[in-house]
Structure 1
Amino acid sequence: MLPRPPTHHKLLPEGLYISRWQEPGRAEADFGRFDAKKVVRNIYIMFSRSEIPIAQENQEIMDIVEPSTPLPSWFSEEDLATYGALYQKSGFQTALQVPYRSFLDRKSEHYNIPIPKVEVPALLIMAEMDYDFQFPGIEEYTRSGEAKKVVPSLDIIYIPEGTHFVQEQFPEHVNELILNFLTGHS
């Protein structure tokens, strides 16, 4: 639905987490320095900010977060323990493959798939404080109605204080929005 952002690492800032995580082995080495709980902790802290996570040239992504930085208020130590245990068991391969490594080869048949028109009602819940709005063109594309060219029956709802994990930050509100949308389109 969104315009295809550049996914080739040479088109993005070198220190951008997307660029780093697309490089096979780099995230694995970065994450491998810590237990899964610490990796999840750092990701939740980084992605709950309104700035795009970008590392310095001599820094890895996991080093962006200062060890003393607290978890977001809505993400508990119990949540962290649960997620950490799940990733300790499964690893991070799927999380790295989809979305970061799925379209690395621009010559692959998957990269050049035309964007289909979505003809069914759809709901997009956007967080106003999500760092995604910092990527060039994303906010304009979403707010201008351009997205409705691809998804004509798109309802967009903005949550003012929400961040990248808006569904976890405001679960009751997001559930209510989804249920209202489904009720209105049943």
Structure 2
Amino acid sequence: MTPLALEPPAEEPVSLAEARQFLRLDAADEDDLLAMLVTAARLLVEAASGRCLVDQHWRIALDRWPRTGEIRLPLAPVSAVLAARVYDSAGTAQQVAPGVLTLDRAADPPLIHMSQSVAEPGRAHGGIEIDVVAGFGPTAASVPAPLRQAVLRLAARWFEERGDVASRDAASLPRPIAALVAPYRRVKL
């Protein structure tokens, strides 16, 4: 199972104005840098938590349908299944009928249940594609406050302590920021 990002979030969980206010910056001359740091901080918080923050479109590629009839998604939270297709041996996509795949949003990790049998793919690799929306919601206001605070604090840390601090943080989040992310972290067993 391979997740592929199709479309980034329409907005970051922390706006440029919020980041500028947090850092007490009046001038806008470093807005490009600050915006880049907010995006980088979001990506690191998403990686550390195993959660997508603001809604974004992803494609899940599968080689074959699971025998159990359940697809455990590698992304969370997932709010919608947009489309699903199966490729035949000629490489032509056949749409999966709506209602055949049902999303269980309450499960963690999210599950897609197959309500009936579906055509088997005609190619060995990536013969099934499922497009989903992953994230807490379409706006920054949908993201839990501790995760937004983690993004804000991490971006501010990188802004204030320029240099190699970003590469050190990539190995593990600083403790105060890790504490904000911990309740949302997906644990793999």
Q: Normalising by structure 1, what TM-score?
A: 0.23
Structure richer in helix, relative to its length: 1
Structure richer in strand, relative to its length: 2
Q: Normalising by structure 2, what TM-score?
A: 0.23
